[in-house]
Amino acid sequence: MAVKIEQQIDSLTGLPNKEGLTTNCSLFVLGDEHVAEGTNFLPNTLHYTTERSTTATDWSLDVVSNTTYKVNFWFKYYTDGGPWGSVTAPLSGNNVIGFNSGSTTSHSGIYQKLTGLIVGFKYKVFVRLSKYYPVSGSLSSSSGTCSIITYYENADIYLKNTEETFTILGDPPTTLPANTLTSEFTAQTSEDIILIDFSSNDTGSFLLVHEISVRRIDEYLIPAQSSDVNDNFSTVYKSNIQNVSLEQVDDPEIPEE
């Protein structure tokens, strides 16, 4: 008896004869922008915005919990004593947001309630740095940190969703391509909050940010293809050898000599 595997790919059309044999690969595409005034900053971008000071141990929760929000509008904050150092709030200029440092470890930053998010979808955050100006000559003693934090509101309580912190050292500010910090979060509501924080204990140093972006990550499945040495492309299919047909083949009689 011989085992004959059923033909899974049509030899004439090159298409699978069975379902589930198509091999797909993921293609990630960034969707619409969700940050308002995230590029091309102007001197008045933060000039008229609400400015909050905090002395709370959990400074980020304090500022996001005590803000009367307007969606797609920047707010700014700064620590003013308590367990943290005192510092001034960020300022906006031509195409940049400037973050200052205090006498001891201090925090200052900007935050915005987004709109139009889809719950359960992933979003990618981009923060592109322009320049970090350390005051002291030694980069090892004049580093700062930039944090990307997201919050969401649930029954009038603000909960932290994600937090990622990056060390800022000098010129260029980071070793990342194009000095761009990136982070991801999964939307918990249609109006999650994005917060960008700068912290440093090097008095007089400051960080410049010239682009902030939040875009949805869309995933598309496309058929996988491979190429040979002659640049001929072929669609890649899975092999499914579990579905076989058994065919009885009688051995031919051996003639007697």
Q: 159, 151 in Cβ contact below 8 A?
A: yes
Nearest to 64 by CA among 130, 23, 110, 8: 110
Q: What is the pLDDT along the chain (257 residues), one digit of tens a residue?
A: 555 556 666 555 556 666 656 666 666 678 889 999 888 888 888 888 889 999 999 999 999 999 999 999 999 999 999 899 999 999 999 889 999 888 788 999 999 999 999 999 999 999 999 888 776 555 445 678 999 999 999 999 999 999 999 988 776 777 778 889 999 999 999 999 999 999 987 777 889 999 999 999 987 666 666 666 666 666 666 665 555 444 444 555 555 55
For the chain, domain boundaries = 28-220
The whole-model pTM stands at 0.76
CA nearest to 134, candidates 105, 104, 171: 171
Q: How high is the pLDDT of residue 246?
A: 45
The span from the CA of 184 to the CA of 125, in Å, is 6
What is the number of helices (H) and of strands (E) in the chain? 1, 16
A 10 A CB-CB count for 227 gives 9
- 28-220: CATH topology is Jelly Rolls (2.60.120)
Closest CA to 197 of 134, 141, 138, 147: 147
Q: What values do phi and psi take at 222, rounded to 5?
A: -125, 150
